[in-house]
Structure 1
Amino acid sequence: MQGGRSTEGVRDKAPHFFLSYATVPSPVGDVDAARPGADKDVREFYAALSRANASGMSASSASSVGYLDGADRAGPDTARALHRCRRFVPLITRRYFTDVHCGRQWYACTHRATRGALIPALWTPVPTTARPVPSTWNCPCPNGR
């Protein structure tokens, strides 16, 4: 399942996780110009998280490994996935706590009858040009290894 797009057989299965995030607002006057590029990192994270979770699942349940909060944020598919998910994974940013949909999703997940795990992830994308600073640290291991 992903962002409201589902197949009929998958529709009844509970997603293993629901990824919730605050979308990047579009520039004034341009409805969806910024969104595809701005949310690209989130989609890549979702794909990696789905692959990691699917590796330990059977082929039949791997199809419902995750749900990405997408364009249909208040639609029936999103509500169904939110109420049935086993884990709620909010990507925490400053915008997350001011986005009305994120607030509703958080509330719905934490106040439902069957509680799943709440696994918040601090979302701080790192530029692709960033590299770790080399260290001149000496290894305290015997024989310098």
Structure 2
Amino acid sequence: MHSVQQPYGFLSYGRTPAVPETDRSSDDPLSRFHAKLTEDLMELTDLDAKVPAVYLDQRIPLGSTWEEELKERLSRCQVFVPLLSRRLFTSEWCALEWECFQRRQQLQRERGAFIRNAVVPVLWSPLRSGDIPPPYSEVQYTHQDLHPKYLELGLRGLQISGNHGTFRKVVYQLALKIVDVAVSSRLEPCEPSEFDDLFDAMNDTVGEER
């Protein structure tokens, strides 16, 4: 197997606000997906358990330490995995993560070493194709071998509706896809500083909104 850097994947997701009337985390389905995907990737690869197979940003408070970690993960992850949902589409931070990864792929194009797009979208919530805006709509997220219930409900919907067997099967198929893309894309890491201007522009925008 071609050696790739760690982590294999970077999950980009739009966080659902917690419901005040309940103490249950609104992101429980996300945590379960992350755990299952990590388990499958560890079985399918020889990744070191000391490094997360899939990076999940838990949205710790903004600050220089968090931003540097985010830049580092985006500069080294092998596959970008956006969880398609309406909250992803309206999140400025998710848009920033996408832009950083696309810049990294563009750097590889400029070196003449680009092989394939290293983005593997995941349908998180029920969506019609017309609901998905660019740039997310430019990447194929449906595959014939994935269960029709996944295309109908999304991964979160499969969990909520009790389709746990289908959920586990689809996550395993997605893990296989991520491994295939990671190995075949051969995306090279870049310096985290390549993203400095993008983060600066985001911080300027956030500052203006405050």
TM-score above 0.5, yes or no: yes
| Cα pair 1:24 1:34 within 8 Å, conserved | no
**SS of the counterpart of 2:48?**
helix
The structure that is strand-richer by fraction is: 1
Q: What code does the residue aligned with 1:128 have?
A: S
From the superposition, tell whether residues 63 and 98 of structure 1 become closer, same or farther in structure 2 (CA, over 3 Å): same
Q: What code does the residue aligned with 2:102 have?
A: T
RMSD: 2.8
Question: Does residue 15 of structure 1 match 2:16?
Answer: no
Residue 100 of structure 1: aligned partner: 92
* CA distance in structure 1 between the partners assigned to 2:49 and 2:28 by the alignment: 26
> Percent identity at matched positions?
27
**SS of the counterpart of 1:55?**
helix
Question: Does residue 41 of structure 1 match 2:23?
Answer: no
| Cα pair 2:85 2:123 within 8 Å, conserved | yes
Q: What code does the residue aligned with 1:77 have?
A: E
* TM-score, normalised by the number of residues in structure 2: 0.47
From the superposition, tell whether residues 97 and 57 of structure 1 become closer, same or farther in structure 2 (CA, over 3 Å): same
From the superposition, tell whether residues 80 and 102 of structure 1 become closer, same or farther in structure 2 (CA, over 3 Å): same
CA drift of 1:103 comes to 0.4
| Cα pair 1:23 1:35 within 8 Å, conserved | no
Q: What code does the residue aligned with 2:123 have?
A: L
* CA distance in structure 1 between the partners assigned to 2:34 and 2:18 by the alignment: 21
Bigger-Rg structure (1/2):
1
Instruction: Figure out how many residues of one structure are paired with residues of the other and give that number.
Output: 115
Residue 201 of structure 2: aligned partner: none
* TM-score, normalised by the number of residues in structure 1: 0.66
CA drift of 1:77 comes to 1.4
Q: 1:57 aligns with which of 39, 45, 64?
A: 45
Residue 138 of structure 1: aligned partner: none
